[in-house]
Amino acid sequence: MRAYNATYAELYDDYAPITDDLPFFLEEAQARGGPVLDLACGTGRVAIPLAEAGHTVCGLELSEDMLAVARRNLTQLNPETQARITLRQGDMRAFQWEHLFPLIIIPARSFLHIETPEDQRRVLTCIHSHLAPQGRLILTLFDPDLQLLWERSHMRPVHMEKVKEFTHTATGVRYIVWMTRQYDLNNQTIQFDQYFDALDDQNRVIHRTYYPLRLRYTFRQELQYLFELCGFEVEAVYANFERKPMHYCAGSVVWIAKKQE
């Protein structure tokens, strides 16, 4: 598992402005009560709206650089909202908190950063020990497309594609993001090599930042068994944040698992 660096952290909110999951997490926090533990909380993308809605939120993040951006984002909030958020640096595979949580969340497919089955078990075991009785874990993934994985794993040479254009809010600099993907079917991993090109007013590249990322995808029945092995009962699996029934190749699979004693 790799921690995001300073450059990636500074660009993250503009590069990945995800909002479609916020109503879902707000609804679940309202139903479960608090405090809420947000694992891989990043720049506070989910933690801040939860706190603004009145919930007490604890955020754990591996990257000190992402936490620095999160703490800066907190300074834009009123003092009452700031007081409802606690941020810590830590690894979701082995963390300790002083109290139990009725709700723990891993948004934005961040569970994919856990690259081995052994480490996945460590994460779920640690979460189990921090959940209150009957507490819920919510995490999001994608459902692997077998045909796509097979086709792309045999693609030669590796294809670089343009995946995003955005403007960095703080500096006004425009970026183009290029990416290559390499698929390891044996280990169920995808290696993403990302290149962030900063442009001047003449659309010339000022500098390029390289950031590699490896994710491990997990099949549905595999995760079902992993939950059971770690002391959870799967309560629901949705195909999206609107709670639609699960189907093959769903892009935003939402898992809700209940702690079993």
Ramachandran angles phi, psi of 232, nearest 5°: -120, 150
Please give the Cα distance from 53 to 76 (Å, whole number). Answer: 15
Give yes or no: residues 45 and 88 share one domain: yes
CA neighbours within 13 Å on the CB side: how many for 34?
22
User: Where residue 226 sits, what CATH number does that domain have?
Assistant: 3.40.50.150
Give yes or no: residues 131 and 224 share one domain: yes
Please give the Cα distance from 233 to 173 (Å, whole number). Answer: 47
- Is pLDDT at 3 greater than 80 in this prediction? no
At residue 196, the pLDDT reads 96
Please give the Cα distance from 218 to 185 (Å, whole number). Answer: 11
Q: Is residue 226 domain-resident?
A: yes
Give yes or no: residues 204 and 77 share one domain: no
Q: Which of 182, 200, 216 is the C-terminal boundary of a domain?
A: 216
Span 40-63, pLDDT tens digits: 999 999 999 999 999 999 999 999
At residue 187, the pLDDT reads 95
* Number of structural domains in the chain: 2
Q: Is residue 67 domain-resident?
A: yes
Q: Is residue 210 domain-resident?
A: yes
At residue 73, the pLDDT reads 96
Give yes or no: residues 29 and 85 share one domain: yes
Give yes or no: residues 52 and 17 share one domain: yes
Give yes or no: residues 225 and 127 share one domain: yes
Confidence of residue 125 (pLDDT cuts 50, 70, 90): very high
Please give the Cα distance from 217 to 191 (Å, whole number). Answer: 11
Give yes or no: residues 116 and 201 share one domain: no
- Is pLDDT at 240 greater than 70 in this prediction? yes
Taking residues 88-105, report their average pLDDT.
97
Give yes or no: residues 205 and 223 share one domain: no
Taking residues 224-249, report their average pLDDT.
96
How much of the chain, in percent, has pLDDT values that exceed 90?
A: 90
Question: What is the domain extent for residue 51?
Answer: 6-144+218-259
Confidence of residue 194 (pLDDT cuts 50, 70, 90): very high
Give yes or no: residues 127 and 40 share one domain: yes
Give yes or no: residues 21 and 47 share one domain: yes
Q: Is residue 1 domain-resident?
A: no
Give yes or no: residues 170 and 110 share one domain: no
At residue 174, the pLDDT reads 97
At residue 159, the pLDDT reads 83
- Is pLDDT at 198 greater than 80 in this prediction? yes
Q: Is residue 81 domain-resident?
A: yes
DSSP 245: B
Give yes or no: residues 18 and 119 share one domain: yes
At residue 153, the pLDDT reads 86
Closest CA to 167 of 6, 15, 8, 9: 15
Distance of CA 121 to the CA centre of its chain: 17
Span 134-192, pLDDT tens digits: 999 999 999 999 998 998 888 776 789 999 999 999 999 999 999 999 999 999 999 99
